[in-house]
Chains A and B, each alone.
Chain A
Amino acid sequence: MDAQLAQQTDEVIKHYGTDAEALVEILRDLNQIAGHLSPEHLLLIAQRLNLPSSKVYSVASFYSLINIKPLGRHVIRFCEDAPCHVAGGREVWEALEQELGIPFGETTPDRQWSLLTTSCIGACAVGPVMMIDDEIYGNLTPEKVHEILTQYREADKGGAV
C-alpha cells in the first residue's frame, strides 16, 4: 500500500481517534488533504476503525464534501440556490454546461474541469456566484463565464509550455 496514503490517513485518525462516531469527520478531513478518497483510503479507515468497509463506503458516498471519484484539475462549484438563480443564474448555468460540453456533476474527458453545484455560500448579494477551486466570481453573465474560462485555459497552456 501507498506509504503516503497510509501516513495521511493515520494522521487524521490520530487527531480524531478510532471511535465510529468520528467517521464523518475523519472522511471529510482526509478528503480535504487527499483531494478525493480512493478505495484504499476507505479500506484503511474501515480497518483502523474496525468497521465494515461497506459502511465506510456508504457514509462517504452520502456527503457532498467527500468525493469518492477523482475530480478534474479545476473544480467549478456553481451556486444553484434561488437567490442566485433569480439574479440571472439560469443563463449562467446553461452557459457553463455549453462552454465545457458536460452536464453538472461531471468531469471533462481530458480531466481538466469538474462542474459541480454548491448550495448558498453567503455571497448572494453579488449573485450569480461560482467558485473555481478557491476563487469566487460574482455578478456572472454568460459572457463573463466565457472570459473567465478562457483565462484559465490560457494560463494552463502557458504553464505547460
Chain B
Amino acid sequence: MIRARVLISGDPLSLSRGAEKTKLAIEAEISYYGLEDEIQVSYLTHADRTDILPIVMIYPEGVTYGPVTPEDGAYIVQEHLYKGRVIEHLFAPPEVLTGDIAHIPGRKGATYAQKRIVLRRAGVINPLDIEDYITHDGYFALAKALEEMQPEEVLETVKASKLQGRGGAGFPTGLKWSFVVQQPGEKYVVCNADESEPGTFKDRLILEGDPHALLEAMALAGYAIGAHEGWIYIRGEYALAKERLNKAIQQAKELNLLGDHILGSDFSFDIHVHAGAGAYICGEETALLESLEGKRGIPRIRPPYPTVAGFRGKPTVVNNVETLANIPPIIQNGADWFRSMGTERSPGTKVYTMLGDVNITGLVETPMGTTLREIINIYGGGMKDGKAFKCAQTGGASGSIIPPELLDVPMDFASMAESGAALGSGALLIAGEDTCIVDLAYVLLRFFKAESCGKCTPCRIGTAQMLEALERLRMGYGTQVDLDRLEEIAHYTKEASFCGLGQAAPVPIITGLRYFREEFEAHTRGECPTGVCPCSVKQKVKH
C-alpha cells in the first residue's frame, strides 16, 4: 500500500536542470531503505514557477522542496521519508509557491505564525524513535498523571479545558468521559481513526508523524475512566500508520509506558490496532463498534449510547484522533492554558486541510474562532487567479456549504451552528465563482449514495432519488417539478434517516438552495450559469 507520493517536476526546464538525475537519486535511496512498496515516485507534468526548479513535492504532507539537487534528493529520502523529519533548509520559499503547489505554512519564512498544539511534533520528530518523542515532552503528561493526580483530577482537568470532539460534532470530551465513569464494570477506550471524509487527511499526519502522542492520550483516557484496554480503529488504507502504531506500541511496552503497572503504578493499560476494510460509514461510532466486533459496519440504534453499551456491550469512550492528541498537552499545561487559546465556547485549535481555489493548499492548524476569510487570505495566500469566493464546503457527514455571507463568522462549533452552517471535521474545499452549485451538490450526493449502508429506507432511496433529480438538472432535462421534488425529498431524508450519514446527505442541497436558489432554478430552464454542467454544452450546440 502506498503511503507517500513524491512528485518531481518533469517539465523541459526542470529536466534541463537535472530533474532526471534527482529522480534517479531519490529512487536509488528509496530502494536502499527498502521503501519501494510504500513510496511512489513520479513526475509532475507542469510546475508554474521556473525559479526554483526542479522541485520535489511530498504528499500527503504537501511539503515542497526546491531547487533539489541529486544529493538533496537522497537526503530528503533519508530524513523526510525514512525518519519522518521535514528539512526546513531545503523548503521552497513560501512566497514563490503558487498554483497546485502545496506546503505546510507556518514554517520558516511564512508570513503568519500558526498556533500548533496537535501538529507541533509531526514532521519534527522521528516517529519511529520513542526517545525522540520523550525528549519533546513525550509521556510527561502520563507520568505526571500517574504520580501526582487521581483519575478524578484528570477527568476534571479535561472537563475544565472545555475540549470538544474534533470528529465533527463537537461534543464536550470531559462530559463524554464522565458518562462512562458513572457506569459499573469493565470499560474501553476506542480511538476513531477511520478518517475518510473527502479532502481530509489531518488525522493521518498525527498517526504517521506522532503515533506516541495518541498512545499517551489513550492511556490518560483509560486512567481517567478506569479502562484497561484501548482499540485504535484505523482506516484500512492507512497501512503505514498502522505499522507505525504497532511499532510505537511495542516500544512503549518495552519502556513500561504501556502494559502492566505502568511506571510502577497500579495502572495497567494495553492498546490494540484494528484496521478497517473500506467503508465510510464505519466512521460513525456505532457502525465502527460493529465493525470492530468483526461484523458489517451498520449503525446501531441509539440509545443506548456507546458510553453505556459500546464495544462488546460495555461502556466505551469513542474519540477522534485529533481530540485525543489534545489530551496530553492539556494534562501537562493545565486547563487554563488550553482555554487561553481559541474562543470562550470552543477553546484550543483546529486542524484543517485546505483545498480548491486558493493559492496555497495544505494543512493548517489555527486557533478556534479564526474566520474563513482569515484562513483563506492568511494561510491560503488568497483566492487563486483572483477569483471571487463563491462558497466553501466543510466536507463529509458533518459539513455544510458556507456562503460568502458567513466569511466573517468565527469558526467554532457553536458560532457556525448558530449561523446554520457546520464546522465539520476539518476539510475546507474553497470554491471560486466558476463553480456550479448544482454540480457540486451532485458530486457530494454521489458520494453519500455510494456510501449509504442501505439499512434504512429514507437514506437508501432518498440519496438515489436526490441524485437522480440533480442528474436531470445537470443534463438540462430537469423542470421546476424536479426541483420541488428534490427539495421535498431532501427535507424528508434529513428528518427520517436513521444515522448521521442520511441526515447529512441532503445538507448540500438544503444549504445550496438557501444561498443559491436562483442557480438551481436556472438549471430548470436548461441553463447552467457557470457553463460547467452538460446542459450548457447542449445550449451551445443549439445556438
Contacts and interface: CB of A to CB of B under 8 A. Distances in A.
Contact of B199 (A19, A124, A135): A124
Contact of B277 (A27, A86, A139): A27
B268 interface: no
Given A65-B277, A123-B59, A24 B291 contact: yes
Contacts of A126: 7, 44, 59, 100
A32 to B, nearest CB: 8
A10 interface: no
Interface stretch (A75-83, A95-103, A107-115): A75-83
Interface residues of B, number: 59
A119 B40 contact: no
B338 interface: no
Given A80-B446, A85-B443, A64 B277 contact: yes
Contact of B237 (A65, A123, A136): A65
Interface in B177-202: 196-201
Contacts of B44: 126, 138-139
B235 to A, nearest CB: 10
Contacts of B395: 82
B199 A136 contact: no
Interface stretch (B167-175, B294-302, B328-336): B294-302
A23 B196 contact: no
A62 B297 CA distance: 8
A90 B531 CA distance: 13
B4 to A, nearest CB: 10
Contacts of B297: 62-63
Contacts of A33: none
- By CB atoms of chain A within 10 A, which of B198, B393, B447 has the most? B198
A7 interface: no
A28 B439 contact: no
Nearest to B37: A134
A83 B46 contact: no
A92 interface: no
Contacts of A28: 236, 275-278
Contacts of B102: 125
A123 B60 CA distance: 6
Contacts of A85: 439-440, 443
A19 B272 CA distance: 15
Nearest to A139: B45
A53 interface: no
A120 interface: yes
A124 B453 CA distance: 25
Contact of A80 (B204, B429, B439, B443): B443
A136 B101 CA distance: 17
A149 interface: no
Interface string A27-63: 1100000000000000000000000000000110011
A156 interface: no
Interface in B398-430: 427, 429
A136 B198 CA distance: 17
Interface stretch (B121-129, B354-362, B459-467): B354-362
Contacts of A122: 59-60, 201, 204
Given A27-B277, A82-B447, A125-B59, A59 B294 contact: yes
A131 B447 CA distance: 18
A119 B450 CA distance: 10
A120 B5 contact: no
Given A83-B356, A117-B450, A125 B100 contact: yes
Contacts of A119: 196, 198, 280, 447, 451
B8 interface: no
Q: Which 4 A-B pairs have the closest CB atoms?
A: A81-B198, A65-B278, A64-B278, A63-B277
12 contacts: A22-B294, A23-B294, A24-B276, A27-B277, A63-B236, A64-B279, A65-B276, A89-B443, A119-B451, A120-B198, A124-B361, A139-B100
Given A65-B236, A81-B199, A86-B435, 6 more contacts: A23-B295, A63-B278, A81-B443, A86-B429, A90-B532, A139-B44
Interface of A: 19-25, 27-28, 58-59, 62-66, 80-83, 85-87, 89-90, 117, 119-126, 131, 134-139, 144
